[in-house]
Structure 1
């Protein structure tokens, strides 16, 4: 029995540019050599969903969030500027104060009508985030697009498209917390933002000190068809209950983190589902936040909202991966995470300058990011903790091989983990079968 897909109508108000509430410096600020690599030159959609809050009755969330955003931009004024590109593809922010594109809206739907669909892929997501032609571009465009939608029940949905060259997950959460604090009446953010992108600029002269397999230029074999390149890409989220994690742990003969075990499960099932030739190389990249890896000046990064991570790659063949135990896969992932040090991320910055800010390897590759520590659901604009907070879909820009581990509370109130992924329809079906077999083995 199939349920009827949820359809609803959204009425958008006139889009406007929200500018800083006070004068801000007119200057040009360089992005770091980690920020402006090709793999981050896209807009990432985030979504935050809130129940009706009785204490906020009579307050218009569109007005509350618009005014708070204007105040927040006084402190985070680069977001009110525009990205420009200079010599050598170097990106920088022209702090023009032009503002963030903002639109209020109202929808003829209640949160209850969403049922258990308050997670990626969201029904009618194109209605929840204002889109303009060319919004996938990042040069000389608003750095943020925001839509605040009032719901019929008194709840609200905040959807954001944010230029990834400006912030990583930690930086995005810092910005969201500051905005939420202002909405709740604060006069300034509790964490003062710092720019300091020079911390992650390439050295002079640049010197690459690691073998960065995440950036190897690899071409697909002539005799294979990459099913991910078809036009049948679908989005689906998979959930791991506490009992599922316990079942997976039985397959690994040593202690490991929940992140490691979900990551290994994803890579293994995805590789099996792609049905690659045994000798084909497969690559798994792990997003590692490098803030705590800085030896001497970690404290100086408090308030830093730029990109401060690396994604080292572990490489094996499809035959070895699928022919071994889950413990083998976990060990590969555990080992590669330890590579990231302060020197490693400086080597990445140097590599970017030498190699024209190249894209990471996409052939037979996937990448995973842990969003459990970001705690996006805890963002509180005055409407309490969110029903959902985090990425709006799997994939990263034009690369469908990216996913995220997102904390999620199911209908039973259990703390679960969600994995939103993108695959072609046939591969997705096989992935679901492989995952089900692993969980029930």
Structure 2
């Protein structure tokens, strides 16, 4: 069983390409008696929290235990548009974008990729002490401490931007998922809701400004954008999505993208609070949890480390040529308050 990111991981979960099923599960048994459970799920029907809750409920059902949290599926009553609709925020160019016409691929469009242009995935481990100090420095002078995720995301955003060597004037955006279960109030969304109730906060900055500003300003930028995605924003999104404008203007979800390179942008997906280590099919909790090998440049996954020492792992896909610079700054607390 590979513990480091490698394409070999792809053999341990089902390939969803071309599949009509919304969820696929693969169980791989090893000669030593251990096994790996890999699953692929369509994001349109379940976000990370819902996928984790499903697996927990599966394990609880296997053991004859009560469901906790109780699965909830009442989408119709939770996400009703208001009458009359009140679209208070701009959702074009954010959650929705114009449909792009597919062009036939010509031989001249296919680029030759050398070794430095290869996207590689690296696992970065941040110790509990490193994260605590990072958070302390970022929160200095703030009314209250910033979240761990916001501090780590800001640090990674700055380091990745530095490693890419972007033009100082180029705009880079960070995409951070915001869970509606924690935001929506009228009516509230239960913790066990099985579906996708995630929108994105998208702080932006010029690349030169981002690597020049201290960490605390980058975290403040993220925190401010995350705070905008509140109950009012979610309700505005529901009203817009139900208004008919999406169909009339032939818009498509921005999240439905086949891009393999996000540069100059960065996406951070957090599974820090997903209780995967509580999963139990009757043989005890898992030894190890990791995301699949997703070599989409700039798409970062953050998970709890399997070491049990409250450290965290970030799976960072970048071009090989950028990795040396990234490694020089990602483990440095001194650079958190310095110009990169």
TM-score range, shorter chain: 0.7 to 0.9
Secondary structure of residue in 2 paired with 1:245? helix
Q: Tell me if structure 2 keeps the 8 A contact 1:367–1:402.
A: yes
Matched, 1:392 2:292: yes
Task: Choose which of 221, 225, 231 in structure 2 pairs with 1:336.
Answer: 225
TM-score, L = length of structure 1: 0.62
Report the equivalent of 1:174.
53
Report the equivalent of 1:235.
121
* Aligned-pair CA distance for 1:206: 5.2
Structure 2 CA distance, aligned partners of 1:179 and 1:272? 43
Report the equivalent of 2:104.
none
Residues 290-317 of structure 1: per-residue CA shift (max 9 Å, x gap): 113222322x635321111211211111
Matched, 1:194 2:80: no
TM-score, L = length of structure 2: 0.79
Q: Tell me if structure 2 keeps the 8 A contact 1:393–1:421.
A: no
* Aligned-pair CA distance for 1:192: 4.2
Q: Tell me if structure 1 keeps the 8 A contact 2:160–2:326.
A: yes
Matched, 1:434 2:329: yes
Q: Tell me if structure 2 keeps the 8 A contact 1:295–1:342.
A: yes
Superposed CA RMSD: 3.0
Structure 2 CA distance, aligned partners of 1:375 and 1:127? 24
Matched, 1:118 2:9: no
Q: Tell me if structure 1 keeps the 8 A contact 2:97–2:252.
A: no
Report the equivalent of 2:174.
284
Residues 391-435 of structure 1: per-residue CA shift (max 9 Å, x gap): 22356xxx543222211133xx52211111211111233222221
Report the equivalent of 1:144.
23
Matched, 1:401 2:298: yes
Structure 1 CA distance, aligned partners of 2:80 and 2:167? 40
Q: Tell me if structure 1 keeps the 8 A contact 2:169–2:208.
A: yes
Structure 2 CA distance, aligned partners of 1:202 and 1:273? 44
Report the equivalent of 1:417.
312
Structure 2 CA distance, aligned partners of 1:161 and 1:436? 32
Runs of 5+ unmatched residues, structure 2: 99-112
Structure 1 CA distance, aligned partners of 2:290 and 2:267? 17
Q: Which has the higher contact order (CA 8 A, sep 6+)?
A: 2
Report the equivalent of 1:370.
270
* Aligned-pair CA distance for 1:205: 6.5
Report the equivalent of 1:354.
245
Higher Rg of the two aligned structures: 1
Structure 1 CA distance, aligned partners of 2:25 and 2:240? 34
Q: Tell me if structure 2 keeps the 8 A contact 1:379–1:385.
A: yes
Alignment size in residue pairs: 304
Structure 2 CA distance, aligned partners of 1:291 and 1:312? 15
Runs of 5+ unmatched residues, structure 1: 1-113, 219-226
Secondary structure of residue in 1 paired with 2:71? coil
Residues 285 and 351 (structure 1), Cα distance of their counterparts in 2 relative to 1, 3 Å cut: farther
Residues 316 and 214 (structure 1), Cα distance of their counterparts in 2 relative to 1, 3 Å cut: farther
Report the equivalent of 1:35.
none
